[in-house]
Amino acid sequence: MQMRWNSITLCLVDLDYTVIDQLNIAIGAFEPREYVGEVISHLRAFIDRHAERDIWALSVSGPLPVASPGMHASLPRRFAWMDAEWFQSFWEAYSAQSLCDELEAALGLPAYILNNPQSAAIAEALAAPLEARMVYIMVGLSLGATVVNHRQLNLELWRYAGEIGYVMYKDEPLNRIFSVSGLREQLDLDEPQGVYEEIIERVLAETPDVLDDWFDSSAERLRLIVNFLENTVRPDGIAVGGFMPVGYLRELVSRVEPLPDSVVLETDDPQRIMPRLAVARHSAESIPFGAGAMALSSRANSRFSDLIGQRRLPG
């Protein structure tokens, strides 16, 4: 399940990582506990719809809270976006663990929780070479990064992915400009997720010149991030995805050149098993699939052996 501020997406995935069913559902309740109650009702109906199948687990993905003193105070915004405000209020009512506990109790299934960059990264890693160490950068309301090694999430380095958006650069966080929030401010948009996407698609198609400053400033920051990640994580490749149209991501990556010299392998080195920097093949639309794939992966899910154990019959 992927959480949004006014909807959920449910995706049923089997052991071959095949999508059996996917469903988008609007959620009309905005008070956090009413929202969860409505979500549970829809999950029960979805499970009943597949009563002939043996459902193993529920894996939830969303923009999880990150506790850091003064973090949000360091990022003043002109707009109080409905989606951002809603998630802030939701995580004041719930912790990641308390949400899992309530879902498990209501549905009788083991519940896992990831953030959106992790779920998207798992989906991307399934299309990458098995042996690859890759970093997935998600351009969302903020800016997150996830390390995947041999299709296994690195949870020791970052528990809920790296909030690289709050790294300071030129006296402000990187995500002040380089994020969906920064783009919405650049375009003076007050519309929430689910509405702004169509507007920014139209801007790129009709008046792209108004985006030059945002693209150039974001590319400058992405260049810095690539240099930092290559020197610290030494990935085989870096993928950039997120909650913006793929045209934006392609234009952004095209403006990053020239990249600093690589400490791994140069961009055109024939020994590369992944592109040094590329637009993700699987972006935000892959989040619910990636969450489901994580739960069923012996590499990505550290509790996978427990799931297998629960399927075994006594004797």
What token pair was written down for 2? 């992927």
Q: How confident is the model at residue 148 (pLDDT cuts 50, 70, 90)?
A: very high
Quote the pLDDT of residue 183. Answer: 95
Q: Is pLDDT at 247 greater than 80 in this prediction?
A: yes
Domains of the chain, by residue range, sit at: 2-311
CATH of 2-311, one of 3.40.30.10, 3.40.50.720, 3.30.360.10, 3.30.420.40: 3.30.420.40
pLDDT in tens, 227-239: 999 999 999 999 9
Q: Is the pLDDT of residue 67 over 60?
A: no
Between 300 and 110, whose confidence is greater? 110
Sheet with strand 237-242: strands edge to edge: 152-153, 143-149, 133-139, 237-242, 277-279
pLDDT score recorded for residue 142 = 87
- H-state helical runs in 134-195: 180-186
User: Could you tell me the pLDDT band of residue 310, with boundaries at 50, 70 and 90?
Assistant: confident
248 pLDDT band, cuts 50/70/90, is: very high
Can you name the residues that pair with 61 across neighbouring β-strands?
2, 114
Predicted local confidence at residue 297, as pLDDT? 83
Q: What's the CA gap between 188 and 66, in Å, rounded?
A: 27
pLDDT digits (tens, 9 = 90+) for 121-145: 999 999 899 999 999 999 998 899 9
Which residues, at least 6 apart from 260, have a Cβ–Cβ distance to it below 8 Å?
223, 226, 227
**What confidence category does residue 79 fall into, taking pLDDT thresholds of 50, 70 and 90?**
low
Q: How many Cβ atoms from other residues are within 10 Å of residue 212's Cβ?
A: 10
Find, among 10, 15, 7, the residue nearest to 47 by Cα: 10
DSSP string, 53-84: S----EEEEE------TTTGGGS--S---HHH
Banded model confidence at residue 77, pLDDT cuts 50, 70, 90? low
Q: What is the rounded distance in angstroms from the CA atom of residue 238 to the CA atom of residue 249?
A: 13
Are the C-beta atoms of 39 and 27 separated by less than 8 Å?
A: yes
Distance from C-alpha of 69 to C-alpha of 146, rounded to nearest angstrom: 22
Q: What is the pLDDT of residue 230?
A: 95
**Chain mean pLDDT for the chain:** 89
Write down the pLDDT at residue 189.
92
Q: Is 233 in a helix, a strand, or coil?
A: coil
* Phi and psi, residue 258, nearest 5°: -85, 140
DSSP labels, 87-121? HHHHHHH--HHHHHHHHHHHHSS-EEEEEHHHHHH
In the chain the first and final C-alpha atoms are separated, in Å, by 34
pLDDT, position 158: 56
161-169 mean pLDDT: 81
Query: In the predicted model, is pLDDT for residue 147 greater than 60?
Result: yes
Res 66: pLDDT: 61
Predicted pLDDT of residue 119: 93
Q: Tell me, what's the pLDDT at 75?
A: 54
Distance CA 204, CA 222 (A): 20
Q: Is residue 292 within 8 Å of residue 301, measured between CB atoms? A: no
The confidence score (pLDDT) of residue 311 equals 74
Chain centre to alpha carbon of residue 88: 17
Residue 11 pLDDT: 96
- The mean pLDDT value for 69-75 works out to 50
Contact 9, 61 (CB under 8 A): no
